[in-house]
Amino acid sequence: MSGKLNRRGFLKGPLAAGGAVGFAGLEEKILLATMEKGIDIEKEKQKDKSGVKLPVGKIGELKISRLILGGNLISGWAHARDLIYVSRLFKAYNTEEKIFETLALAEEQGINAIVIDCSQIDVINKYKKETGGKIQAIASVKPRDENPKANIDEVIDKGAATIYLHGAVCDFSVQKGRIDVLEKALEHIKKNKVLAGVGCHSLFVPIEFEEAGIKLDYYVKTLHHDKYWSAHPRENRKPFSVDDQQYDDHNEFHDNIFCLNPEETIEFMKGVKVPWISFKTLAAGAIGPGDGFKYAFENGADFITVGMFDFQIVEDTLIAKEVLAGINERGRPWRG
């Protein structure tokens, strides 16, 4: 695997046909300039001279690194607000070879798990087979009203370390009053002796589960602050809007915020006794890692999952270790 990221090779790929040179925004200029000069991964690794390992926690008997790799950059789900080219850019950059390099670098840095959609488990398994990698798949499934067991048996057979119910699906089910569908899915996962979690953007999801006393092993719940430009005003935030209609009006939702009520989330999760994986920790790239990691860990998250390109992994791991080492107290005890 190459330790050098190269612009020429990238522009020979699928993006070339789409006119990469015509892009005019700041983010793509930074990315293309980075590829022009190249990224020396070996040099990046030398930035961390501490010798400190990335801390791990536990979900059940699974040992999970506090920093978990997110799967959205691999899939192209960029949550790029109104930057319509970004998803295509991500997909063009993250070839299978680049995905394998990213996973290997993550493992080398102590990241031992990745949160993925069930559709991504094949590429993870191919990486493990071809490279001997050990990264653990935390896979989401999408139960349906007519089939609460959808995807579950397949993902178990393919070796997922643990399974959780997809966040958007859980939001919709709770909104419709169909928490029974989610409970049946959890029961089927646990019947197969696999750890089972619940994902969500909406705080109403853990509220409903906790009030109903439904047993689960962990939550995958969004957490980030809203002190960034594209966050729309609080008075215009509507329950369950994260997966609902998108607006052109800057004062309304447009794929721009994923934790609508961070203070309420922090306060409620203090009383939750199972581990909590925070996702969208950087609001899909709107918040810097030093700020976002600190906010999530200090306010109760036991783990954070972050989408990272290969050239971000070393720096983000170093930041995570520094943040974790600097935490003296939290409003919520470590639950994992």
One digit per residue, pLDDT tens: the chain, 336 residues?
444 444 444 444 444 444 444 444 444 555 565 556 556 666 666 666 667 899 999 999 999 999 999 987 676 666 677 677 777 777 778 889 999 999 999 999 999 999 999 989 999 999 999 999 999 999 999 999 999 999 999 999 999 999 999 999 999 999 999 999 999 999 999 999 999 999 999 999 999 999 999 999 999 999 999 998 888 788 988 888 887 777 788 888 787 788 999 999 999 999 999 999 999 999 988 899 999 999 999 999 999 999 998 889 999 999 999 999 999 889 899 999
Give the Cα separation of 224 and 259 in Å (integer): 6
Closest CA to 137 of 152, 154, 149, 125: 125
Sign of CA dihedral 250, 254, 255, 261: positive
Give the Cα separation of 292 and 280 in Å (integer): 9
pLDDT at 18: 42
The residues, any chain, with a CB within 8 Å of residue 202's CB and separated by 6 or more, are 170, 171, 174, 175, 239, 240, 242, 260
Q: Where are the domains of the chain?
A: 42-325
Q: Nearest 10 degrees: CA dihedral of 215, 218, 220, 226?
A: 100
Instruction: Write down the pTM of the prediction.
Output: 0.86
Over its C-alpha atoms, the chain yields an Rg (Å, rounded) of 19
| CB-CB neighbours of 67 under 10 Å | 31
Give the Cα separation of 55 and 131 in Å (integer): 24
pLDDT at 2: 44
Give the Cα separation of 238 and 28 in Å (integer): 32
Indicate the CATH number for domain 42-325: 3.20.20.100
